[in-house]
A = this chain, B = another copy of it.
């Protein structure tokens, strides 16, 4: 059964997360600051103290197109690994856009439509988030305008086609339709773009028009909350409770969606799983970043967020898991990590693709590069169980399929894939540009 409510973990925490700060005043950002960008209902959810938020019927009517998603036991993978562990995976790739992203794109589009918004803008890298939002906008007759990082726009045409098929307008970013984009183009006509620039363009267009708002695909509290449908369904579907829950982290929405419901049960003393986030070695915000106030974007237009960060200047190496190439981390998850509520590890790109190939050959599904991080750690855990003889129950989230990533698999199978080392100096250089937090004047 698809759940009837999203779960908001904030009121269950031992302490609330630090608030976002306005970079000018250094005071907490309030609802009014956010109103030009987000509809009232989402702003209310962002700061809500309710433990459960009812999912509107109009959202359930769209969730029904692919939810509940399958929870599968990976029996053939277990056998191939020779492990006594029992491995379960929750598969979000059955959604129309092929990932977990529509879980939040749909309610975001719905609340905007209900408030009379006519158009949504957003940025996208490889296109997972953009295609999810394009699909969601088609469901509620909203226009959708996406700024797609130029490098991906040119190299990965198929997710661009998917957005257009759903009716969205897709711009290569930097574009000449915004002043932010025009400025970059004037300085560097052949700019390959960046997520930071694309955010600036989408935010500029949303802010300039009364009937237009902006949508974000991860990081924020309400986005994480929408994703808890993943974990709620898994709790209900699992025939036995997990000893270990493993998910990949970029901005944090997939991991939070999977683990928050299990954390609620753990806080209530009903279960006691180990929870583990897996990030790329090339972008290790939990394992090598600092916990500090930083900008959410490269250009420094967003509020200051207290989070695990590698510095907003940090540009991750071009790993194929585009969805995990983010310098920061959800402030809520960062706060919880500081409270010791879950673990984090980092894996290398080759190890991840090796896990992806192993999984595809055993279970059939081709995983997107992002969830291969969780699979690599799941396989490592299962192999440790083979050594120790422990019959652990492992749960992981397969948050998307890799149908648009086969060129990357080809490179891996052809022996052409690289791993990236990340010297300490690169991280400290990026961290040296962290904003200085001044105490606000009274």
Contacts and interface: CB of A to CB of B under 8 A. Distances in A.
A365 B96 contact: yes
Interface string A35-64: 000000000000000000000000001100
Interface stretch (A159-167, A301-309, A331-339, A386-394): A159-167
Contacts of A94: 94
Interface stretch (A1-9, A20-28, A192-200, A401-409): A401-409
Nearest to A65: B364
Contact of A65 (B72, B98, B361): B72
B407 A165 contact: no
Given A76-B139, A94-B94, A406 B364 contact: no
A410 interface: yes
Contacts of A72: 65
A361 B167 contact: yes
- How many copies of this chain does the complex contain? 2
Contact of A361 (B138, B403, B413): B138
A18 interface: no
A164 B413 contact: yes
B406 A158 contact: yes
Interface residues of A, number: 39
Interface string A138-171: 1100000000000000000110011011110000
Contacts of A96: 360, 363-366
Looking at A61, A167, A357, A361, the one whose CB has the most chain B CB atoms below 10 A away is A361
**Interface residues of A: mostly helix, strand, loop or mixed?**
helix
B409 A361 contact: no
A295 interface: no
A135 to B, nearest CB: 6
Contacts of A161: 406-407, 409-410, 413
Contacts of A167: 361
Contacts of A66: 364
Contacts of A404: 403
A162 B406 contact: yes
Nearest to A407: B161
Contact of A360 (B102, B165, B363): B165
A402 to B, nearest CB: 9
Interface in A385-442: 403-404, 406-407, 409-410, 413
A57 to B, nearest CB: 13
Interface string A342-368: 000000000000000100111111100
Contacts of A157: 406-407, 410
Nearest to A365: B96
A71 to B, nearest CB: 13
A158 B364 contact: no
Contact of A410 (B138, B164, B166, B413): B164
Nearest to A403: B403
A4 to B, nearest CB: 19
A61 to B, nearest CB: 8
Nearest to A413: B164
Contacts of A76: 61-62, 65, 139
A165 B409 contact: yes
A230 to B, nearest CB: 18
Given A65-B72, A72-B65, A165 B406 contact: yes
A138 to B, nearest CB: 5
9 contacts: A96-B365, A96-B366, A139-B364, A158-B406, A161-B409, A161-B413, A162-B406, A164-B410, A165-B409
Shortest 10 CB-CB contacts between residues of A and residues of B? A96-B364, A161-B406, A403-B403, A158-B406, A161-B410, A138-B361, A65-B364, A165-B409, A165-B360, A135-B364
Given A96-B365, A161-B407, A165-B357, 15 more contacts: A62-B76, A65-B72, A65-B364, A76-B139, A96-B363, A138-B361, A138-B362, A139-B364, A157-B406, A157-B410, A161-B413, A165-B406, A165-B409, A166-B360, A403-B404
